[in-house]
Structure 1
Amino acid sequence: MALRVLIVDDEELARLRLRTLLADCVSPSVQVAGEAGSAAAALQWLATQRADVLLLDIHMPGLDGLQLAQRLRGLPRRPALIFVTAHPEHALAAFEVQAIDYLTKPVRRARLQEALERAAHWLQQESLAPPSGFGGMGAALPGASAASGGVIIVHDRGERVRVPLAELLYLRAEAKYVCLRTAQRSYLIDEPLSELEQRLDGGFVRVHRNALVAVSAVRALERHPVADAPATGFDGDASADAVGWAVQIAFTDEWLAVSRRQLRQVRAALEAH
Protein backbone atom coordinates (compact mmCIF):
# COMPACT_ATOMS: atom_id res chain seq x y z
CA MET A 1 0.00 0.00 0.00
CA ALA A 2 1.32 3.43 -0.93
CA LEU A 3 2.35 5.88 1.79
CA ARG A 4 -0.05 8.82 1.97
CA VAL A 5 2.11 11.98 2.04
CA LEU A 6 1.04 15.47 3.09
CA ILE A 7 3.39 18.25 1.90
CA VAL A 8 3.45 21.25 4.26
CA ASP A 9 5.37 24.27 2.95
CA ASP A 10 4.37 27.91 2.48
CA GLU A 11 6.26 28.12 -0.84
CA GLU A 12 4.35 26.78 -3.84
CA LEU A 13 7.54 26.09 -5.81
CA ALA A 14 8.95 24.06 -2.92
CA ARG A 15 5.77 21.96 -2.81
CA LEU A 16 5.96 21.44 -6.57
CA ARG A 17 9.60 20.34 -6.28
CA LEU A 18 8.72 17.77 -3.62
CA ARG A 19 5.73 16.52 -5.62
CA THR A 20 8.03 16.01 -8.63
CA LEU A 21 10.62 14.14 -6.56
CA LEU A 22 7.96 11.96 -4.96
CA ALA A 23 6.74 10.91 -8.41
CA ASP A 24 10.15 9.29 -8.95
CA CYS A 25 10.19 7.47 -5.59
CA VAL A 26 9.15 3.85 -6.09
CA SER A 27 10.22 1.97 -2.97
CA PRO A 28 8.20 2.46 -0.90
CA SER A 29 5.49 3.66 -3.24
CA VAL A 30 3.97 7.00 -2.27
CA GLN A 31 0.82 8.98 -2.95
CA VAL A 32 0.65 12.75 -2.50
CA ALA A 33 -2.56 12.87 -0.47
CA GLY A 34 -2.56 16.64 -0.06
CA GLU A 35 -0.70 19.92 0.28
CA ALA A 36 -0.86 22.68 2.90
CA GLY A 37 0.65 26.14 2.77
CA SER A 38 0.72 26.62 6.54
CA ALA A 39 0.69 24.69 9.79
CA ALA A 40 -2.87 25.82 10.45
CA ALA A 41 -3.99 24.48 7.09
CA ALA A 42 -2.19 21.21 7.80
CA LEU A 43 -4.00 20.83 11.14
CA GLN A 44 -7.33 21.49 9.43
CA TRP A 45 -6.51 18.90 6.75
CA LEU A 46 -5.45 16.30 9.33
CA ALA A 47 -8.68 16.78 11.28
CA THR A 48 -10.60 15.03 8.51
CA GLN A 49 -8.03 13.05 6.53
CA ARG A 50 -5.15 10.65 7.16
CA ALA A 51 -1.50 11.05 6.26
CA ASP A 52 1.21 8.47 6.84
CA VAL A 53 4.05 10.93 6.28
CA LEU A 54 4.40 14.71 6.63
CA LEU A 55 7.06 16.48 4.58
CA LEU A 56 7.31 19.55 6.75
CA ASP A 57 9.03 22.92 6.36
CA ILE A 58 10.14 24.78 9.51
CA HIS A 59 9.90 28.51 8.75
CA MET A 60 6.29 29.33 7.86
CA PRO A 61 3.90 32.18 8.72
CA GLY A 62 2.04 31.62 11.99
CA LEU A 63 2.86 28.30 13.61
CA ASP A 64 6.20 27.01 12.41
CA GLY A 65 6.96 23.40 11.58
CA LEU A 66 8.41 22.60 15.00
CA GLN A 67 5.31 23.95 16.74
CA LEU A 68 3.11 21.89 14.44
CA ALA A 69 5.15 18.80 15.30
CA GLN A 70 4.58 19.51 19.00
CA ARG A 71 0.81 19.71 18.38
CA LEU A 72 0.88 16.30 16.67
CA ARG A 73 2.70 14.49 19.47
CA GLY A 74 -0.57 13.85 21.29
CA LEU A 75 -2.11 11.88 18.43
CA PRO A 76 -2.48 8.14 19.14
CA ARG A 77 -1.15 7.35 15.66
CA ARG A 78 0.66 10.41 14.41
CA PRO A 79 2.26 10.65 10.95
CA ALA A 80 5.95 10.11 10.44
CA LEU A 81 7.61 13.54 10.35
CA ILE A 82 10.29 14.36 7.79
CA PHE A 83 11.50 17.96 7.98
CA VAL A 84 12.49 19.57 4.67
CA THR A 85 14.11 22.94 5.25
CA ALA A 86 16.80 25.33 4.10
CA HIS A 87 17.97 25.80 7.70
CA PRO A 88 20.31 23.01 8.94
CA GLU A 89 20.71 24.61 12.38
CA HIS A 90 17.34 23.27 13.58
CA ALA A 91 18.25 19.58 13.26
CA LEU A 92 18.56 18.90 16.99
CA ALA A 93 15.25 20.64 17.70
CA ALA A 94 13.64 18.48 15.01
CA PHE A 95 14.89 15.30 16.60
CA GLU A 96 13.56 16.50 19.96
CA VAL A 97 10.04 16.44 18.49
CA GLN A 98 10.69 12.90 17.23
CA ALA A 99 11.27 13.57 13.55
CA ILE A 100 12.15 10.57 11.40
CA ASP A 101 14.59 12.51 9.24
CA TYR A 102 15.84 16.03 8.48
CA LEU A 103 16.50 17.00 4.88
CA THR A 104 18.08 20.26 3.75
CA LYS A 105 17.08 22.03 0.56
CA PRO A 106 17.73 21.51 -2.27
CA VAL A 107 16.61 17.93 -1.65
CA ARG A 108 18.10 15.11 -3.69
CA ARG A 109 15.80 12.30 -4.82
CA ALA A 110 18.07 9.61 -3.37
CA ARG A 111 18.08 11.34 0.02
CA LEU A 112 14.28 11.70 -0.03
CA GLN A 113 13.94 8.03 -0.98
CA GLU A 114 16.12 7.09 1.98
CA ALA A 115 13.98 9.16 4.34
CA LEU A 116 10.78 7.56 3.04
CA GLU A 117 12.23 4.09 3.56
CA ARG A 118 13.03 5.07 7.14
CA ALA A 119 9.50 6.41 7.60
CA ALA A 120 7.98 3.18 6.25
CA HIS A 121 10.05 1.15 8.71
CA TRP A 122 9.02 3.44 11.58
CA LEU A 123 5.34 3.16 10.66
CA GLN A 124 5.61 -0.60 10.57
CA GLN A 125 7.13 -0.62 14.05
CA GLU A 126 4.49 1.79 15.31
CA SER A 127 1.72 -0.49 14.04
CA LEU A 128 3.05 -3.21 16.34
CA ALA A 129 3.33 -0.93 19.39
CA PRO A 130 0.60 0.06 21.85
CA PRO A 131 -1.10 3.36 20.84
CA SER A 132 0.42 5.18 23.81
CA GLY A 133 4.00 4.45 22.84
CA PHE A 134 5.89 6.48 20.30
CA GLY A 135 9.05 5.46 18.52
CA GLY A 136 11.02 7.19 15.83
CA MET A 137 13.69 9.80 16.10
CA GLY A 138 13.71 12.11 19.11
CA ALA A 139 15.69 13.27 22.13
CA ALA A 140 15.21 11.11 25.17
CA LEU A 141 14.75 12.57 28.60
CA PRO A 142 18.17 13.00 30.22
CA GLY A 143 19.03 10.21 32.62
CA ALA A 144 21.77 7.96 33.94
CA SER A 145 23.42 5.68 31.44
CA ALA A 146 25.97 2.92 31.34
CA ALA A 147 27.57 0.98 28.54
CA SER A 148 27.99 -2.79 28.74
CA GLY A 149 27.73 -5.74 26.39
CA GLY A 150 27.86 -3.52 23.31
CA VAL A 151 25.01 -1.20 24.30
CA ILE A 152 24.43 2.10 26.03
CA ILE A 153 21.43 2.08 28.34
CA VAL A 154 19.42 5.31 28.30
CA HIS A 155 16.41 6.29 30.38
CA ASP A 156 13.74 7.27 27.84
CA ARG A 157 10.41 8.58 29.21
CA GLY A 158 10.72 6.38 32.29
CA GLU A 159 11.87 3.28 30.42
CA ARG A 160 15.33 1.77 29.99
CA VAL A 161 16.29 1.71 26.32
CA ARG A 162 19.22 -0.36 25.08
CA VAL A 163 21.04 1.52 22.33
CA PRO A 164 23.45 -0.84 20.50
CA LEU A 165 26.88 0.67 19.98
CA ALA A 166 26.79 -0.68 16.44
CA GLU A 167 23.92 1.74 15.67
CA LEU A 168 25.68 4.89 16.90
CA LEU A 169 26.77 7.38 14.25
CA TYR A 170 28.41 9.78 16.67
CA LEU A 171 28.51 11.09 20.23
CA ARG A 172 28.76 14.87 20.63
CA ALA A 173 28.95 16.99 23.77
CA GLU A 174 26.38 19.81 23.74
CA ALA A 175 26.29 22.12 26.77
CA LYS A 176 25.80 19.87 29.82
CA TYR A 177 24.59 16.85 27.83
CA VAL A 178 25.95 14.41 25.26
CA CYS A 179 23.95 13.73 22.10
CA LEU A 180 23.94 10.09 21.01
CA ARG A 181 22.97 9.93 17.34
CA THR A 182 21.77 6.88 15.45
CA ALA A 183 20.21 6.74 12.00
CA GLN A 184 16.78 6.52 13.62
CA ARG A 185 16.99 8.54 16.81
CA SER A 186 18.83 11.16 18.79
CA TYR A 187 19.22 10.84 22.58
CA LEU A 188 20.47 13.30 25.18
CA ILE A 189 22.19 11.95 28.29
CA ASP A 190 24.06 13.67 31.09
CA GLU A 191 27.16 11.48 31.23
CA PRO A 192 30.54 13.06 30.33
CA LEU A 193 31.84 12.30 26.85
CA SER A 194 35.20 11.24 28.28
CA GLU A 195 33.57 8.51 30.37
CA LEU A 196 31.52 7.25 27.45
CA GLU A 197 34.65 7.11 25.31
CA GLN A 198 36.30 4.73 27.77
CA ARG A 199 33.39 2.31 27.46
CA LEU A 200 33.22 2.13 23.66
CA ASP A 201 34.18 -1.14 22.03
CA GLY A 202 36.38 0.44 19.37
CA GLY A 203 35.40 1.57 15.91
CA PHE A 204 35.11 5.20 17.02
CA VAL A 205 37.53 8.04 16.46
CA ARG A 206 37.69 11.39 18.21
CA VAL A 207 37.32 14.10 15.58
CA HIS A 208 37.18 17.04 17.97
CA ARG A 209 37.34 17.61 21.69
CA ASN A 210 33.54 17.53 21.75
CA ALA A 211 32.81 14.67 19.33
CA LEU A 212 33.43 10.95 18.73
CA VAL A 213 32.39 9.47 15.39
CA ALA A 214 31.89 5.87 14.27
CA VAL A 215 34.47 5.28 11.56
CA SER A 216 31.95 3.25 9.56
CA ALA A 217 29.57 6.25 9.56
CA VAL A 218 32.00 8.65 7.87
CA ARG A 219 30.93 9.34 4.29
CA ALA A 220 33.64 11.91 3.50
CA LEU A 221 36.52 13.89 4.99
CA GLU A 222 36.85 17.30 3.34
CA ARG A 223 37.43 20.96 3.98
CA HIS A 224 33.94 22.29 4.63
CA PRO A 225 32.16 25.09 6.50
CA VAL A 226 30.48 23.86 9.69
CA ALA A 227 27.55 25.88 11.04
CA ASP A 228 28.56 25.66 14.69
CA ALA A 229 32.27 26.29 14.14
CA PRO A 230 33.54 29.18 16.29
CA ALA A 231 34.41 32.39 14.52
CA THR A 232 38.02 31.99 15.65
CA GLY A 233 38.36 28.59 14.00
CA PHE A 234 38.05 24.99 14.96
CA ASP A 235 40.79 25.11 17.58
CA GLY A 236 40.46 28.66 18.81
CA ASP A 237 43.23 29.87 16.52
CA ALA A 238 42.49 33.51 15.67
CA SER A 239 44.22 33.07 12.30
CA ALA A 240 41.77 30.36 11.21
CA ASP A 241 38.39 30.91 9.62
CA ALA A 242 35.12 28.99 9.93
CA VAL A 243 36.05 26.64 7.07
CA GLY A 244 38.17 23.68 8.10
CA TRP A 245 38.35 19.92 7.93
CA ALA A 246 35.10 18.13 8.64
CA VAL A 247 33.56 14.68 8.30
CA GLN A 248 30.21 14.06 6.63
CA ILE A 249 27.99 11.62 8.53
CA ALA A 250 26.07 8.93 6.68
CA PHE A 251 22.25 8.91 6.91
CA THR A 252 22.06 12.45 8.33
CA ASP A 253 24.42 14.26 5.89
CA GLU A 254 25.63 16.37 8.83
CA TRP A 255 29.16 17.81 8.81
CA LEU A 256 31.13 17.63 12.07
CA ALA A 257 34.27 19.69 12.55
CA VAL A 258 37.63 17.88 12.70
CA SER A 259 40.24 19.70 14.76
CA ARG A 260 43.74 20.07 13.38
CA ARG A 261 45.24 18.09 16.22
CA GLN A 262 42.90 15.16 15.47
CA LEU A 263 43.17 15.27 11.68
CA ARG A 264 46.06 12.80 11.38
CA GLN A 265 44.32 10.31 13.67
CA VAL A 266 41.06 10.61 11.73
CA ARG A 267 42.82 10.05 8.40
CA ALA A 268 44.62 7.01 9.78
CA ALA A 269 41.37 5.54 11.11
CA LEU A 270 39.62 6.02 7.76
CA GLU A 271 42.52 4.49 5.81
CA ALA A 272 42.54 1.46 8.11
CA HIS A 273 38.79 0.96 7.84
Structure 2
Amino acid sequence: MMTHIRCMIIDDDELDRLVLQHYLKQYENIEIVASFDSAEKAIPYLELPIDLLITETNLKGMSGLEFRKLAHKIPACIFVSSHPELAAYVFEIDTLDFITKPLTSERFHYSMQRLFEFFKVKEKCECYDAILGHDFIKIKESGNIFQVRKTDILYLEALKDYTRIITLEKKTLYSGFFRQSSTQKLF
Protein backbone atom coordinates (compact mmCIF):
# COMPACT_ATOMS: atom_id res chain seq x y z
CA MET A 1 0.00 0.00 0.00
CA MET A 2 1.41 3.38 -1.02
CA THR A 3 1.14 5.95 1.77
CA HIS A 4 -0.34 9.35 0.92
CA ILE A 5 2.32 11.92 1.89
CA ARG A 6 1.50 15.57 2.63
CA CYS A 7 4.47 17.86 1.96
CA MET A 8 5.53 21.38 2.96
CA ILE A 9 8.29 23.18 1.03
CA ILE A 10 10.32 26.13 2.34
CA ASP A 11 12.94 27.74 0.13
CA ASP A 12 13.61 31.45 -0.35
CA ASP A 13 14.77 30.87 -3.93
CA GLU A 14 11.70 30.82 -6.19
CA LEU A 15 13.40 28.79 -8.92
CA ASP A 16 14.44 26.08 -6.43
CA ARG A 17 10.87 25.97 -5.05
CA LEU A 18 9.52 25.50 -8.56
CA VAL A 19 12.06 22.75 -9.30
CA LEU A 20 11.07 20.95 -6.07
CA GLN A 21 7.39 21.26 -6.97
CA HIS A 22 8.07 19.91 -10.45
CA TYR A 23 9.96 16.90 -9.08
CA LEU A 24 7.30 16.19 -6.45
CA LYS A 25 4.45 16.29 -8.98
CA GLN A 26 5.95 13.18 -10.56
CA TYR A 27 4.83 11.18 -7.51
CA GLU A 28 1.09 10.48 -7.34
CA ASN A 29 1.14 9.79 -3.60
CA ILE A 30 2.78 13.12 -2.64
CA GLU A 31 0.59 16.18 -2.18
CA ILE A 32 2.13 19.63 -1.79
CA VAL A 33 -0.04 21.28 0.87
CA ALA A 34 2.09 24.39 1.39
CA SER A 35 5.04 26.18 -0.18
CA PHE A 36 6.74 29.19 1.40
CA ASP A 37 9.66 31.54 0.78
CA SER A 38 10.37 31.92 4.52
CA ALA A 39 10.15 29.83 7.66
CA GLU A 40 8.27 32.56 9.50
CA LYS A 41 5.38 32.29 7.03
CA ALA A 42 5.24 28.52 7.60
CA ILE A 43 4.93 28.65 11.40
CA PRO A 44 1.10 29.06 11.44
CA TYR A 45 0.81 25.92 9.30
CA LEU A 46 2.62 23.63 11.76
CA GLU A 47 -0.74 22.40 13.08
CA LEU A 48 -1.67 20.97 9.67
CA PRO A 49 -1.11 17.25 9.20
CA ILE A 50 2.23 17.35 7.37
CA ASP A 51 4.28 14.20 6.70
CA LEU A 52 7.27 15.65 4.87
CA LEU A 53 9.17 18.91 5.23
CA ILE A 54 11.57 19.92 2.48
CA THR A 55 13.48 23.03 3.46
CA GLU A 56 16.54 25.03 2.58
CA THR A 57 19.07 25.13 5.43
CA ASN A 58 19.97 28.83 5.07
CA LEU A 59 16.89 31.02 4.84
CA LYS A 60 16.63 34.74 5.41
CA GLY A 61 15.37 35.31 8.95
CA MET A 62 14.72 31.99 10.68
CA SER A 63 16.89 29.24 9.17
CA GLY A 64 15.55 25.91 8.00
CA LEU A 65 17.55 24.30 10.83
CA GLU A 66 15.76 26.43 13.43
CA PHE A 67 12.41 25.74 11.79
CA ARG A 68 13.03 21.97 11.89
CA LYS A 69 13.39 22.19 15.66
CA LEU A 70 9.95 23.82 15.81
CA ALA A 71 8.54 21.30 13.32
CA HIS A 72 9.69 18.25 15.25
CA LYS A 73 6.23 16.63 14.89
CA ILE A 74 6.70 16.33 11.11
CA PRO A 75 8.02 12.76 10.75
CA ALA A 76 10.29 13.22 7.70
CA CYS A 77 12.56 16.12 6.79
CA ILE A 78 14.77 16.60 3.75
CA PHE A 79 17.16 19.53 3.69
CA VAL A 80 18.35 21.12 0.46
CA SER A 81 21.35 23.40 0.50
CA SER A 82 24.25 24.82 -1.43
CA HIS A 83 26.32 24.44 1.76
CA PRO A 84 27.53 20.81 1.93
CA GLU A 85 29.43 21.58 5.13
CA LEU A 86 26.06 21.64 6.96
CA ALA A 87 25.28 18.01 6.10
CA ALA A 88 26.74 16.53 9.29
CA TYR A 89 24.87 19.02 11.48
CA VAL A 90 21.42 18.46 9.93
CA PHE A 91 21.53 14.76 10.75
CA GLU A 92 21.78 15.67 14.43
CA ILE A 93 18.28 17.18 14.29
CA ASP A 94 16.19 14.28 13.00
CA THR A 95 16.73 14.46 9.24
CA LEU A 96 15.94 11.87 6.60
CA ASP A 97 18.19 13.25 3.85
CA PHE A 98 20.37 16.17 2.71
CA ILE A 99 20.49 17.16 -0.96
CA THR A 100 23.09 19.61 -2.24
CA LYS A 101 22.16 22.23 -4.80
CA PRO A 102 21.91 22.43 -7.73
CA LEU A 103 19.11 19.85 -7.53
CA THR A 104 19.24 16.96 -9.97
CA SER A 105 16.39 14.59 -10.78
CA GLU A 106 18.56 11.52 -10.08
CA ARG A 107 19.52 12.67 -6.60
CA PHE A 108 15.98 13.79 -5.85
CA HIS A 109 14.59 10.41 -6.98
CA TYR A 110 17.08 8.66 -4.68
CA SER A 111 15.85 10.81 -1.79
CA MET A 112 12.23 9.91 -2.59
CA GLN A 113 13.12 6.21 -2.52
CA ARG A 114 14.57 6.72 0.96
CA LEU A 115 11.38 8.57 1.94
CA PHE A 116 9.14 5.73 0.73
CA GLU A 117 11.28 3.19 2.58
CA PHE A 118 11.03 5.31 5.72
CA PHE A 119 7.22 5.39 5.54
CA LYS A 120 7.05 1.68 4.76
CA VAL A 121 9.06 0.89 7.91
CA LYS A 122 7.04 3.43 9.92
CA GLU A 123 3.80 1.79 8.80
CA LYS A 124 5.11 -1.67 9.73
CA CYS A 125 6.10 -0.40 13.17
CA GLU A 126 2.66 1.12 13.71
CA CYS A 127 1.03 -2.17 12.68
CA TYR A 128 3.32 -4.11 15.00
CA ASP A 129 2.53 -1.74 17.88
CA ALA A 130 -1.18 -2.03 17.14
CA ILE A 131 -1.00 -5.82 17.20
CA LEU A 132 1.29 -6.22 20.20
CA GLY A 133 1.44 -2.91 22.00
CA HIS A 134 -2.03 -2.91 23.50
CA ASP A 135 -1.88 -6.40 24.95
CA PHE A 136 1.70 -6.27 26.20
CA ILE A 137 3.79 -4.20 28.57
CA LYS A 138 7.48 -3.66 28.01
CA ILE A 139 9.91 -4.68 30.75
CA LYS A 140 13.61 -3.87 30.93
CA GLU A 141 15.63 -6.53 32.75
CA SER A 142 19.43 -6.74 32.78
CA GLY A 143 19.69 -4.29 29.86
CA ASN A 144 17.26 -6.28 27.68
CA ILE A 145 13.77 -5.14 26.83
CA PHE A 146 11.09 -7.76 26.45
CA GLN A 147 7.32 -7.82 26.37
CA VAL A 148 4.99 -9.53 28.82
CA ARG A 149 1.47 -10.34 27.73
CA LYS A 150 -0.94 -8.61 30.13
CA THR A 151 -3.11 -11.70 30.31
CA ASP A 152 -0.08 -13.72 31.51
CA ILE A 153 0.39 -11.51 34.57
CA LEU A 154 -1.02 -13.19 37.66
CA TYR A 155 -0.30 -10.30 40.01
CA LEU A 156 2.14 -7.51 40.87
CA GLU A 157 3.95 -7.48 44.18
CA ALA A 158 5.19 -4.18 45.65
CA LEU A 159 8.56 -4.43 47.40
CA LYS A 160 9.58 -0.94 48.59
CA ASP A 161 11.41 0.49 45.49
CA TYR A 162 10.83 -2.63 43.38
CA THR A 163 7.88 -4.33 41.75
CA ARG A 164 7.82 -8.05 41.15
CA ILE A 165 5.75 -9.23 38.18
CA ILE A 166 4.46 -12.72 38.71
CA THR A 167 3.51 -14.76 35.64
CA LEU A 168 3.00 -18.48 35.15
CA GLU A 169 6.43 -18.78 33.57
CA LYS A 170 8.61 -16.69 35.89
CA LYS A 171 8.92 -13.97 38.48
CA THR A 172 10.48 -10.73 37.24
CA LEU A 173 11.84 -8.12 39.62
CA TYR A 174 11.50 -4.62 38.22
CA SER A 175 13.82 -2.04 39.74
CA GLY A 176 12.41 1.40 40.43
CA PHE A 177 8.82 2.49 40.34
CA PHE A 178 6.49 0.61 38.06
CA ARG A 179 5.52 2.97 35.23
CA GLN A 180 3.61 2.55 32.05
CA SER A 181 3.18 4.86 29.09
CA SER A 182 0.58 7.57 29.54
CA THR A 183 -1.32 6.30 26.51
CA GLN A 184 -1.68 2.78 27.82
CA LYS A 185 -3.68 1.39 30.73
CA LEU A 186 -2.28 -1.69 32.41
CA PHE A 187 -5.56 -3.57 32.81
Q: Taking structure 2 as the reference length, what is the TM-score of the superposition?
A: 0.60
Q: Counterpart amino acid of 2:52?
A: V
Q: Which residue of 2 aligns with 1:191?
A: none
Q: Is the contact between residue 80 and residue 100 of structure 1 (CA under 8 Å) also seen in structure 2?
A: yes
Q: Which residue of 1 aligns with 2:11?
A: 9
Q: Is the contact between residue 5 and residue 30 of structure 1 (CA under 8 Å) also seen in structure 2?
A: yes
Q: Which residue of 2 aligns with 1:32?
A: 32
Match of 1:117 among 113, 116, 136: 113
Q: Is the contact between residue 46 and residue 71 of structure 2 (CA under 8 Å) also seen in structure 1?
A: no
Q: Alpha-carbon deviation of 1:25?
A: 4.0
Match of 2:85 among 81, 85, 89: 89
Q: What number of residue pairs does the alignment pair up?
A: 126
The structure with more radius of gyration = 2
Q: Which has the higher contact order (CA 8 A, sep 6+)?
A: 2
% same residue? 29
Q: Is the contact between residue 25 and residue 109 of structure 1 (CA under 8 Å) also seen in structure 2?
A: no
CA distance in 1, matches of 2:79, 2:20: 12
SS of the residue corresponding to residue 14 of structure 1 reads helix
SS of the residue corresponding to residue 83 of structure 1 reads strand
Q: How well do the aligned residues superpose, as a CA RMSD in angstroms?
A: 2.1
CA distance in 2, matches of 1:57, 1:72: 14
Q: Is the contact between residue 11 and residue 37 of structure 1 (CA under 8 Å) also seen in structure 2?
A: yes
Q: Which residue of 1 aligns with 2:103?
A: 107
Q: Does 1:50 align with 2:49?
A: yes
CA distance in 2, matches of 1:124, 1:38: 30
CA gap of 1:42–1:123, structure 2 versus 1, over 3 A, is farther
Q: More helix per residue: 1 or 2? A: 2
CA distance in 2, matches of 1:90, 1:65: 11
Deviation track 1:109-157 (CA, whole Å, cap 9, x = no partner) reads: 1211221221222233334257xxxxxxxxxxxxxxxxxxxxxxxxxxx
Q: Counterpart amino acid of 2:12?
A: D
CA distance in 1, matches of 2:57, 2:65: 6
Q: Which residue of 2 aligns with 1:200?
A: none
Q: Counterpart amino acid of 1:51?
A: I
Q: Is the contact between residue 9 and residue 38 of structure 1 (CA under 8 Å) also seen in structure 2?
A: yes
SS of the residue corresponding to residue 50 of structure 1 reads coil
Gaps of 5+ in 2: 130-142, 145-187
CA gap of 1:36–1:57, structure 2 versus 1, over 3 A, is same
Deviation track 1:166-224 (CA, whole Å, cap 9, x = no partner) reads: xxxxxxxxxxxxxxxxxxxxxxxxxxxxxxxxxxxxxxxxxxxxxxxxxxxxxxxxxxx
Q: How does 1:218-257 map to 2 (within 5 A)?
A: none
CA distance in 2, matches of 1:125, 1:72: 21
Q: Counterpart amino acid of 1:12?
A: E
Q: Is the contact between residue 84 and residue 100 of structure 2 (CA under 8 Å) also seen in structure 1?
A: yes
Q: Which residue of 2 aligns with 1:41?
A: 41
Runs of 4+ in 1 over 6 A off after TM superposition: none
CA distance in 1, matches of 2:16, 2:56: 9
CA distance in 1, matches of 2:63, 2:9: 14
Q: Is the contact between residue 25 and residue 113 of structure 1 (CA under 8 Å) also seen in structure 2?
A: no
